[in-house]
């Protein structure tokens, strides 16, 4: 059994639909409100009334990385006997069937990061396809580890890795790259599981800022590469 963690910033009612669908799973659901505006409060209030759902709140927006670390810390404290946590986005990109496929790879005590690999060749907004293609190629060139989808938000983390992941740097989207770099630096396997590619309204609901967040992701990769060379 695993917990499901969803970071959310200014979500629409799609989040309610997602939670209603995934609460049929066995594990608890943790939603982190990352300083959303008051207009989203009704969405979070309805989500919090669902059985087995915990809503955590940041008073101000702190970024996806901070929201994930808040949720992971809570899961470690509240559900230490679970196999781990599955991270998924709040915009409906991830199908419940894919959630099960990724979460089902979690093994008791196994130190491995499992990530959902999207097919980025079709039905994907150009900015997402271009950015992910570039960072995936750069990641492979600098680390020697081939990852086809470095920016996927669907990830399964075993409980044994949560303390180390919570201690990583990165406040926004670069935190997900910090995870990958940490695994490479410590010889922790990264397993990719093919998942469905789903986008809605050309991904307009995403809070990803292409110039700012792409630069932070690339800098995170370069920084970790330079750090590993100095060891």
What does each of the 231 residues of the chain score in pLDDT, given as a tens digit? 999 999 999 999 999 999 999 987 778 999 999 999 999 999 999 999 999 999 999 999 999 999 999 999 999 999 999 999 999 999 888 888 999 999 999 986 689 999 999 876 655 555 555 567 788 888 888 888 998 888 899 999 999 999 999 999 999 999 999 999 999 999 999 999 999 876 655 445 566 666 677 788 888 888 876 555 444
Residue 8 and residue 82: Cα distance in Å, rounded? 23
Q: What kind and span of H or E run contains 14?
A: helix 14-22
| CATH (domain of 69) | 3.90.550.10
Residue 11 and residue 36: Cα distance in Å, rounded? 8
Confirm whether pTM is higher than 0.85: yes
Residue 208: both structure tokens together = 């990803």
Residue 92 and residue 70: Cα distance in Å, rounded? 21
Q: First-to-last CA distance in the chain? A: 38
Check residue 120 and give its pLDDT: 62
Check residue 230 and give its pLDDT: 42
Check residue 148 and give its pLDDT: 86
Residue 90 and residue 64: Cα distance in Å, rounded? 11
Count Cβ atoms within 10 A of the Cβ of residue 109 and give its class: 0-12 exposed, 13-18 middle, 19 or more buried: exposed
Q: What kind and span of H or E run contains 116?
A: strand 113-118
- Looking at the 3D structure of the chain, how many domains does it have? 1
Residue 180 and residue 224: Cα distance in Å, rounded? 10
Write out the residue range of the structural domain in which residue 90 sits: 2-230
């Amino acid at each position: 059994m695993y917990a499901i963690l969803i970071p959310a910033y200014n979500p629409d009612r799609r989040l309610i639909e997602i939670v209603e669908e995934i609460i049929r799973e066995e594990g608890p659901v943790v939603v982190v409100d990352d300083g959303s505006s008051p207009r989203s409060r009704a969405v979070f209030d309805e989500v919090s009334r669902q059985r087995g759902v915990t809503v955590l709140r940041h008073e101000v927006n702190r970024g996806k990385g901070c929201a994930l670390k808040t949720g992971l810390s809570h899961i470690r404290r509240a559900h230490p006997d679970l196999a781990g946590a599955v991270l998924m986005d709040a915009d409906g990109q991830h199908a419940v069937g894919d959630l099960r496929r990724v979460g089902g790879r979690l093994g008791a005590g196994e130190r491995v990061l499992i990530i959902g690999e999207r097919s980025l060749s079709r039905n994907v907004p150009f900015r997402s396809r271009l950015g992910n293609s570039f960072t995936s190629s750069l990641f492979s060139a600098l680390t020697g580890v081939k990852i086809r989808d470095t920016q996927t938000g669907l990830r399964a983390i075993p409980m044994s890795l949560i303390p180390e992941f919570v201690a990583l740097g990165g406040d926004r989207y670069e935190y997900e790259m910090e995870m990958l770099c940490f695994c490479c630096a410590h010889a922790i396997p990264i397993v990719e599981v093919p998942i469905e590619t789903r986008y809605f309204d050309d991904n307009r609901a995403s809070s990803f800022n292409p110039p700012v967040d792409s630069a932070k992701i690339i800098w995170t990769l370069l920084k970790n590469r330079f750090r590993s060379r100095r060891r």
